[in-house]
Structure 1
Amino acid sequence: MAKVVLMTGVSRYLGGLYARRLSADPSVERILAVDVVPPPHPIGRAEFVRADIRNPMIGRIISQAGVDTVVHMNVIATPKDTGGRATQKEINVIGTMQLLAACQKADSVQRLVVKSTAGVYGSSPRDPGVFTEDMNPKVMPRTGWSKDSVEVEGYVRGFSRRRPDVEINLLRFANVVGYGIRTALTDYFSLPAWPVPMGYDARFQLVHESDETEAMVRATTGPPIGIVNVAGDGYVTLLQCAALVRRPIVPVPLRSGGMLGTVIRQTGMADFSADQLSFLAFGRGLDTTRMRSVLGLDPGYTTRAAFDDFARRLKRSVPLAEPVAGTVSSAAAGTVAAISRVFERIDS
């Protein structure tokens, strides 16, 4: 199994980690790494193929190379990486549809591995303490990457009905953090001051970038697993994280989420949506029993250790708030001022 692998999203950070890690597996004979732009990082012995998965040409690549395993890692999390929300959705949804159509026609394909997100479970006050893989969200995600991922998983289920002979391995990851990765959540953590939903202190899990990579490799080369949640052990809360990196917090009402997100996106510092504010209010828990029993993964980082590793980068790159004098950096003051303008517009 997994002799000839085609992967998407190699030019992204996690795609590069995966390509290098998979290159070390001698059982994999050939790796085709597909993206629209050349990767800015090493990709091991993977062969870069410039191609757009939205183009039917991807089907010819799969057929001509005799690909038996397709690894889809090109569901993009942040619109600013693609030039806007419309392009992000087109890549995520239309790109997945075209890729699955190509897989459906290729008799050589025996396994499909999809990197998904625990964001498909949503975040609401009606949610259970932990989500198992067979649970559905009480409130569906409304925007962005999580909404796209719900649609992607729907297309994957349709593909599995049309090609029941193909093994489907789908991993739902908690928010990935680490020393090198940048996501909407790490951009939020990098803000000089954190807008925090007023009256809430969300509990959530994280997964380290190295554990994410190991999980993807196991899903590629190991036995069939179906759908599996992946997260580090334990939980952290939002206010604990703020205290660990000494970030000032700015309490904000949940109803200001949409307008607040617009202001923060305009600053260029982070992508921030109403769904993200809901996650910061209500959090999310994942049952990881299948991660250990079926995937065979025992994460090397707990949730707290994964955040600590990210925090080391944060402390090097972003000035910390003054812990004693009660003052904050000029950047933090600017963020607070932007949030204050939101409240003025809401009140008016």
Structure 2
Amino acid sequence: MGKVVLVTGVARHLGSRFVQAIRRQPGVDLVVGVDLQPSTHDLAGTADGAPLADYIFVRADIRRPTVARFIAEHVVDTVVHLNVSTTTLGSTSRSTVKETNVIGTMQLLAAVQKASSVQRLVVKSTTSVYGSAPRDPAVFHERMQPKVFPTGGFAKDAVEVEGYVRGFSRRRPDVAVSVLRFANIVGPHADTPLNEYFALPVLPTVLGYDPRLQFIHEDDAVEVLRLAAMEPRRGTTNSGTFNVAGEGVMVLSQAARRLGRPTVPMLLPAVSWVAGMARQTRLLDFSPEQMRLLTHGRVVDTTMLRETFGYTPGYTTEEALADLARSTRSGLLPPGQVARWTSRVAELLPISGGKRR
């Protein structure tokens, strides 16, 4: 029998795109998708006549131990864990997201540990584990520790998840484990907090800061996941922790100009107020960790990705943002309305040190 791949988080865009890709791989016989809701995407992708592996959807909560039964039932040999969520938008509370990220990962790892059939584990993580602080190094390598560890949100969840994965690796050294630390994923269809931030008609920024940023295009993210889930190149192993980002760096002001978005520089307390209002109204998941990113930035080295997988992302950081820009209008509001909105924000919020009226 060929490869059987179990994928968590198939309801989200990245999970659905990965299922499309892995079903087309030679040697893959079955893909088992696990999530609370089925995907709304076309999991077959474009109909080009290519043979597709069978697909089964399992409605299950990974916080429950039932996933072990599905691994055993289908004799799964590869597990790709994508159900590590970055956002609390919609009706999902932060506590529920944290439970899914951390408790769900613990339960999944416990199930995988008991399954002798599993040979490969791929876990989606984030470069947010490095944090964003004023004294950060210019470039983070995989073995570096952050100057300031994340204290909350998705970044803290990812730190805990990686800790549990390292413990699993010690208990099951026979399983090849790949931890992929993705930079901010952008693209025409990516459902990520930074994509949502860039869709705003006016971008709030922190006065006096122009952070360096890196992006990874959604197509490249899917391809790296595919490479990690398949057999490694001759003479290499896919095991380890890998930074995943497009080549090059952009500062936030450059990104705003490329997108055609005006910016409103504010003092940090004002940006915090805007972020809190956005979260309360569930219009945007403007988390504290994203605020730190948009203040201090973050850049990572991707040498290990290129050397191990033999893959350089097809989109540079600049090209990934350009593709996002092509898919959106240069502004969601008429120019006159944008100008009035900007003026009103300037009146209500402290821009240059004065008190709010």
Give the structure-1-normalised TM-score: 0.92
CA contact (8 A) 1:193 1:335 kept: no
Q: Offset at 1:126? A: 1.2
Q: How does 1:28-47 map onto structure 2 within 5 Å? A: 28-44=28-44, 45-47=54-56
Aligned to 1:193: 202
Say if 2:303 is the partner of 1:289.
Answer: yes
Structure 1: distance between partners of 2:156 and 2:149: 8
Aligned to 2:24: 24
Residues 1:338 and 1:299: Cα distance change in structure 2 (over 3 Å): farther
Structure 2: distance between partners of 1:6 and 1:36: 14
Say if 2:138 is the partner of 1:124.
Answer: no
Aligned to 2:292: 278
CA contact (8 A) 2:349 2:356 kept: no
Equivalent of 1:140 in 149, 165, 168: 149
Say if 2:324 is the partner of 1:315.
Answer: no
Q: Offset at 1:143? A: 2.2
Residues 1:148 and 1:28: Cα distance change in structure 2 (over 3 Å): same
Q: CA deviation digits over 1:16-35, x for unaligned, max 9? A: 10000111102112111111
Q: Offset at 1:222? A: 2.9
Residues 1:305 and 1:177: Cα distance change in structure 2 (over 3 Å): same
Q: Offset at 1:114? A: 0.4
Residues 43-52 or 188-197, more deviating: 43-52
Q: Which amino acid aligns with 2:287?
A: S
Q: Offset at 1:266? A: 3.2
Q: Which amino acid aligns with 1:222?
A: E
Q: Offset at 1:93? A: 0.7
CA contact (8 A) 1:248 1:321 kept: no
Q: How many residues align?
A: 343
Structure 1: distance between partners of 2:147 and 2:108: 30
Give unmatched runs, 5+ long, in structure 2.
Answer: 45-53
Structure 1: distance between partners of 2:3 and 2:297: 39
Structure 2: distance between partners of 1:7 and 1:37: 13
Aligned to 1:264: 278
Structure 2: distance between partners of 1:17 and 1:335: 41
CA contact (8 A) 1:191 1:269 kept: no
Q: Which amino acid aligns with 2:89?
A: K
CA contact (8 A) 2:4 2:28 kept: yes
Residues 1:40 and 1:247: Cα distance change in structure 2 (over 3 Å): same
Structure 2: distance between partners of 1:276 and 1:248: 19
CA contact (8 A) 1:264 1:270 kept: yes
Residues 1:341 and 1:46: Cα distance change in structure 2 (over 3 Å): farther
Say if 2:246 is the partner of 1:232.
Answer: yes
* Counterpart secondary structure, 2:154: helix
Q: Offset at 1:260? A: 2.8
Aligned to 1:51: 60
CA contact (8 A) 1:228 1:295 kept: no
Taking only aligned residues, the RMSD between alpha carbons, in angstroms, comes to 2.4
CA contact (8 A) 2:350 2:356 kept: no
Structure 1: distance between partners of 2:78 and 2:224: 16
Give the structure-2-normalised TM-score: 0.90
Say if 2:227 is the partner of 1:218.
Answer: yes
Q: Which amino acid aligns with 2:253?
A: L
Q: Offset at 1:146? A: 1.1
Residues 1:28 and 1:270: Cα distance change in structure 2 (over 3 Å): same
Residues 1:320 and 1:306: Cα distance change in structure 2 (over 3 Å): farther
CA contact (8 A) 2:265 2:351 kept: no
* Counterpart secondary structure, 1:114: strand
Aligned to 2:317: 303
Q: Offset at 1:259? A: 3.0
* Counterpart secondary structure, 2:179: strand
Give unmatched runs, 5+ long, in structure 1.
Answer: none
Residues 1:111 and 1:335: Cα distance change in structure 2 (over 3 Å): farther
Residues 1:129 and 1:343: Cα distance change in structure 2 (over 3 Å): closer
Q: How does 1:60-139 map onto structure 2 within 5 Å? A: 60-81=69-90, 83-139=92-148
Residues 1:100 and 1:334: Cα distance change in structure 2 (over 3 Å): farther
Structure 2: distance between partners of 1:4 and 1:24: 13
Residues 1:330 and 1:33: Cα distance change in structure 2 (over 3 Å): farther
Structure 1: distance between partners of 2:337 and 2:109: 50
Aligned to 2:164: 155
Residues 109-118 or 331-340, more deviating: 331-340
Structure 2: distance between partners of 1:331 and 1:25: 52
Give identity over the alignment, percent.
Answer: 48
Structure 1: distance between partners of 2:221 and 2:344: 32
CA contact (8 A) 1:176 1:206 kept: yes
Q: CA deviation digits over 1:205-244, x for unaligned, max 9? A: 1000000000000000032321111111111110011111
